[in-house]
């Protein structure tokens, strides 16, 4: 009988008991998912992006189904940074799982301010900078499309925090590797790839867009190849760990990302399809390692054979 293979890994200073965590935005509220799955079993908990001030988000309809996925434009509805820290964070602290707080500033200053405030908040392990929301007009993706801007935000936040700093990047660019490099140069400890690719869907009976925001971010299995490609390209360009996200709905999907170069993975829309999916993937990774006779998941990271 072999020993149980190692699933634990590290992202910056964060020790993860396994490489599986929810993607930011999936759970704005955690109360009901905590009734269905044990959040203590996850590698980390990633919050929905916090805004510096409360924001109502985009008008409905906010979601439409697309082939093997969804198109969504929630627009980062947020109760605001302070209210979240006071009313929602204590719930997440109950679980023996590192908390990664996602931040969505409307300016460089807002990112820096929120990161500073986190220095005096207990129980936060890391910051994920949302440099890439496709659904917020004023800012969002604009930051993450420009290497200089990406580097500036990351470095200014780096200057005020010792928490593990992760930059989440958009695939809606010509070269994601270039942006990944900029984030690394700015001092990021890790990268999360990818945010939602922009998409659009139309109701041909009414001639109206299916979302009130007209365009939205695509998620679900439909986008997985885009994410896997982005992780592979970026992993060759940077030396910091990458968290792969985009269309993961099964163990083999997670493995694709890991083999492409991701040290950890996030699961997004698949939680809506199957709320147990993250637990199933954790168990599936274990089974896979046993079947392959591999004692440590980290040995799989970037093991892609191209010749």
Is residue 35 near other proteins by the rule CB under 8 A?
Answer: yes
Cβ closest to other proteins, residue 154 vs residue 218: 218
Query: How many residues bind to other proteins according to rule CB under 8 A?
Result: 39
Is residue 29 near other proteins by the rule CB under 8 A?
Answer: yes
Q: Which two three-digit tokens encode residue 280?
A: 């199933």
Considering only residues 203 to 232 of the shown chain, the ones binding other proteins according to CB under 8 A are 220-221
Active-site residue, 133 included: yes
Among 271, 285, 300, 301, binds other proteins (CB under 8 A): 271
In angstroms, give the least distance from the CB of 134 to other proteins: 15
Is residue 187 near other proteins by the rule CB under 8 A?
Answer: no
Among 8, 40, 53, 60, binds other proteins (CB under 8 A): 60
Cβ closest to other proteins, residue 12 vs residue 75: 75
Is residue 137 near other proteins by the rule CB under 8 A?
Answer: no
Binding site for other proteins (CB under 8 A): 25-33, 35-36, 56-57, 59-70, 72, 74, 77, 220-221, 249, 269-276
Q: Show which residues are catalytic.
A: 133
């Amino acid at each position: 009988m072999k020993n149980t293979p190692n699933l634990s890994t590290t992202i910056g200073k964060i020790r993860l008991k396994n490489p599986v965590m929810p993607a930011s935005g999936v759970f704005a509220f955690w109360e009901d998912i905590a009734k269905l799955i044990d959040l203590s079993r996850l590698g980390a908990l990633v919050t929905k992006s916090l805004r510096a001030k409360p924001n109502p988000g985009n008008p409905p309809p906010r979601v439409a189904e697309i082939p093997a996925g969804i198109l969504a434009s929630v627009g980062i509805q947020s109760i605001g940074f302070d209210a979240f820290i006071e009313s929602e964070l204590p719930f997440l602290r109950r679980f023996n799982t590192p908390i990664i707080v996602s931040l969505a500033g409307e300016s460089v200053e807002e990112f820096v301010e929120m990161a500073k405030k986190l220095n005096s908040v207990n129980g936060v392990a890391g910051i994920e900078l949302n440099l890439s929301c496709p659904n917020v007009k004023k800012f969002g993706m604009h930051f993450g499309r420009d290497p200089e801007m990406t580097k500036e935000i990351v470095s200014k936040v780096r200057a005020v925090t010792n928490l593990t700093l992760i930059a989440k990047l958009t695939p809606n660019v010509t070269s994601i590797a270039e942006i990944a490099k900029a984030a690394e140069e700015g001092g990021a400890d890790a990268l999360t790839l990818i945010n939602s690719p922009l998409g659009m869907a139309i109701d041909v009976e009414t001639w109206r867009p299916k979302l009130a925001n007209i365009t939205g971010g695509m998620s679900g299995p439909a986008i997985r190849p885009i994410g896997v490609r982005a992780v592979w390209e970026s992993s060759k360009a940077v030396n910091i760990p990458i968290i792969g996200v985009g269309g993961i709905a099964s163990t083999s999907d997670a493995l694709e990302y890991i083999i492409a170069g991701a040290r950890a993975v996030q699961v997004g829309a698949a939680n809506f399809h199957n709320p147990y999916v993250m637990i199933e993937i954790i168990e599936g990774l274990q089974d896979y390692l046993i079947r392959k006779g591999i004692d440590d998941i980290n040995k799989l990271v970037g093991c892609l054979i191209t010749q």
